Amino acid sequence: MGAINYRLNPFTGAMNAVLITNEEHIIPSVSPYWVRLNEVPLKESPSSMKVYLFTGSAFVQMSEVAAQPASGQFWPDYSAAPGGDTEWNTGLLLFSSAQAGMKIRVNYKGTGMPVAAESEEKIHGVARFDTPGNYTWDCPHGVTKVYVTAVGGGGIKGNSHPDGGPGGLGGNGYSCFKAPVAVAPDASYAVHVGAAAYRNMSGGGGIVDAEDTTFGSLLTAAHGENGGNATGAGPGTDGAGGWNILQYGVGQGQPYSAAADGGLLIIEW
């Protein structure tokens, strides 16, 4: 595993790592329970990496270990040493099956984006589904693992109040980036790309919630929640949501989004 945008000062030899906070991922629903970070983390002793697990009501810090993780633990892969560089690592985190399908936030010092080395697997095919709806993906012969990028549908803003309070922002759809997923060769998998939330004006003005994006029963990227209605001069509560990627699943009112956006699912193998 190497990196592009490698943040090394060529004049001093010092690493110019950048602090990355609240990077969100979904732990795969099936083994292997790996999550690949968006950048390769700086290896430090003691470690400065922090991983927080969403338990349904709050984010709780997990413990870092250097062996097979148990519930509430994670194991960074510091084993790779391309070119003899013992300070390198792959940017992969391993979790216990007890955390399958759960959301995490990661704080770490990024050194550059990961890119596969020549000796590693290369991407041979890509299937992209970027319009809300139902689809089928047929796994090619001989393929046993894919990398899935998924984003749930975005939520909508809450209603404003006559006293001046704006409605809360719609939450972004939750997302995962190139999560490794085990698959069966020649099998067919249902794909659902989540739609954005909207107001059903023809049905009495009720709100239709956004939808999750799913890859069979193997992976789910949850939808963003709707913003709360304002009750006076103050703003409504922003809807819960994830870290947006690729400008899909953006909640209404979030940057660059006048309306809520539908989700996305990309399969690479």
Query: pLDDT at position 192, please?
Result: 97
What's the rounded Cα separation, in Å, for the pair 203 and 199?
9
Whether 93 and 142 map to the same domain: the answer is: no
Distance CA 269, CA 265 (A): 13
Q: Do 247 and 132 reside in the same domain of the chain?
A: yes
Residue 177 in tokens: 């980036």
Tokens representing residue 176 in the block:
């995962």
Does residue 91 fall inside a structural domain? Answer: yes
Residues 137 and 258 in one domain: yes
Q: What is the pLDDT of residue 257?
A: 61
Domains identified in the chain, total number: 2
Do 53 and 170 reside in the same domain of the chain?
no
* Torsion sign (Cα): 19, 21, 23, 29: positive
Please say which residue of 115, 141, 172 terminates a domain.
Answer: 115
Contacts of 48 (CB under 8 A, 6+ apart): 42, 108, 109
d(CA 213, CA 220): 6
Same domain, 10 and 105: yes
Which of 78, 76, 79 minimizes the C-alpha distance to 35? 76
Q: Across the 269 residues of the chain, what is the mean pLDDT of every consecutive 10-residue run?
A: 52 72 84 80 84 91 89 79 52 87 90 54 78 95 90 87 85 84 94 90 72 94 88 86 68 69 90
pLDDT at 13: 61
Report the pLDDT value the prediction gives residue 241, as an integer from 0 to 100.
79
Looking at the chain, how many residues does it have?
269
Q: Which of 129, 140, 121 is nearest to 183 (CA)?
A: 140
Q: In what order do the strands lie in the sheet with 264-268?
A: 126-129, 264-268, 145-151, 175-182
Tokens 């919630």, residue? 209
Give the domain extent around 161.
126-268
pLDDT tens per residue, range 52-82: 999 888 899 999 988 788 999 998 876 544 4
Does one domain contain both 132 and 249? yes
**Consecutive H or E run containing 50:** strand 50-54
Same domain assignment for residues 104 and 48: yes
Same domain (yes/no): 259, 130: yes
